[in-house]
Structure 1
Amino acid sequence: MMTLPAIALPVRDGLPSLHLPVLASTAACGFPSPAEDFFREEDRLDLNAKLVPNPPATFLVQADCGGSMADFGILDGDLLVVDRSISPRPGHTVVALWEGGFVCKKLYIRNNCIMVLASGSGYPSIIVPEDVELEIWGVVRSSITQHL
């Protein structure tokens, strides 16, 4: 078993850096080449910098989508990394306050109407009436699926 060297954790914007090793190749669904070097010391990734480039504007929320966002890559129980500093645009996945509850949907604007879309055909799109406020809390930067 390969052991990796211990690393110092410098602090960035109040968050410690967490540099993890990155495989030197992609993870194919076939068999890896036995000739490849698996880890290179210079290929390390700081997950905080990658997932949270703007810590003061970022929050986390667990997805409770019931499958409505699965075709967009968000599964029930995923941890969503939401960035409030990104201006929401059509096509972004957003977390919004809608009629007293939070929803995670794709944002679209058609014919001057704001729409939020789910991914599955069994889930209706919501056309936001002009007299109802939809408050966008942030844009989903990434989602984290836990497999264990």
Structure 2
Amino acid sequence: MLTRKQRDLLAFIHKRVQRDGVPPSFDEMKDALDLRSKSGIHRLITALEERGFIRRLAHRARAIEITRLPEDLAAGSTFVPQVIEGSAAAPAPAPARAMRVETYSQDLPVMGRIAAGVPIEAISEVSHHVAVPGQMLDRGGEHYALEVHGDSMIDAGINDGDIVVIREQTTADNGEIVVALVEGHEATLKRYRKTNGMIALEAANQAYETRLLRDDQVQVQGRLVGLIRSY
């Protein structure tokens, strides 16, 4: 049984993972739940982990994995639990009202490296391919992958060397993490905001300043929908 605050936090994390492909920061959680300090978030996270609703992944910045949802949150949700390969024994019958698990994957082209830091030259060549779980992909959209270079998005859970999965699109909503082409030749991965005819490309690392550019200087090339990390 979850308290109201525990349920609200789990719902907020789930919504942000579904939207951005990565969990929110502790500051964003604190603001969403209207708490005064991050210590309250730490207590809620610990309680959710102890009850088996989330799992914190070691050695990863802000890495939280949702392992299950309460029935009221799971109803009508696109949440897909992680599939773990086991022994070759025959599987047990699915319990009543079990959620359907999609296991297909799709090979996506990795279009070189994308800067999560100072912008690098625009990306145009396929370096290799990577298998991506189908539940990361938006139905009906075209996707590609990029290797992250730099640390400007570490507070969004995106580290140097990660593979980001991008849905091709030319528009974005405020707050979404996008691949932005700057002045036709520099590509960067940043959080997108548009206000008063200007585009703000925000880093998720206090060491980097927000870049303010005219609308005609920025072209959205796609939106972040997933992330893959190797160890």
TM-score w.r.t. structure 2 length? Answer: 0.43
Cα deviation digits, residues 66-92 of structure 1 (max 9, x gap): 210000111111111000148411100
After TM superposition, the runs of 4+ consecutive aligned structure 1 residues lying more than 6 A away are: none
1:138 corresponding residue in structure 2: 222
Amino acid corresponding to residue 95 of structure 1 in structure 2: V
Deviation at 1:52, TM superposition (A): 2.2
Q: Please give the alpha-carbon distance, in whole angstroms, between the structure 2 residues aligned to 1:85 and 1:98.
A: 16
Task: Report the CA distance between 1:49 and its aligned residue.
Answer: 2.2
How do 1:69-84 and structure 2 match up within 5 A? Answer: 69-84=153-168
- Name which structure has the greater RCO, CA cutoff 8 Å, separation 6+: 1
Matches of 1:28 and 1:105, distance apart in 2: 26
- Contact 1:54–1:83 (CA<8 Å) still a contact in 2? no
Q: What SS does the aligned partner of 1:71 have?
A: helix
Aligned equivalents of 1:137, 1:54: Cα separation in 2: 18
Q: CA deviation at 1:114?
A: 1.1
CA contact (8 A) 2:171 2:220 kept: no
Match of 1:114 among 180, 196, 199: 199
1:129 lines up with 2:214 in the alignment: yes
Q: Are the equivalent residues in 1 in contact too, given 2:141–2:167 (CA < 8 A)? A: no
Q: 2:187 is paired with a residue of what secondary structure?
A: strand
Whichever residue aligns with residue 94 of structure 1, its letter is V
Structure 1 residue runs without a partner (length 5+): 1-24, 30-37
- More helix by proportion, 1 or 2? 2
1:89-108 to 2 correspondences below 5 Å: 89-99=173-183, 100-108=185-193
Offset of residue 125 of structure 1: 0.6
Q: Which residue of 2 aligns with 1:51?
A: 136
The Cα of 1:112 is off from its aligned counterpart by: 3.1
- Cα RMSD of the aligned pairs, angstroms, is 2.7
Aligned to 1:14: none
More strand by share: 1
How far apart are 1:44 and its partner, in Å? 4.1
Identity %: 20
| Aligned AA (1:110) | T
Q: 1:125 to 1:55 in 2, by over 3 A?
A: same
In structure 1, what is the Cα distance between the partners aligned to 2:214 and 2:135?
37
> TM-score normalized by structure 1?
0.64
Unaligned runs of 5+ in 2: 1-51, 57-83, 95-99, 106-132
Q: Which amino acid aligns with 2:159?
A: L
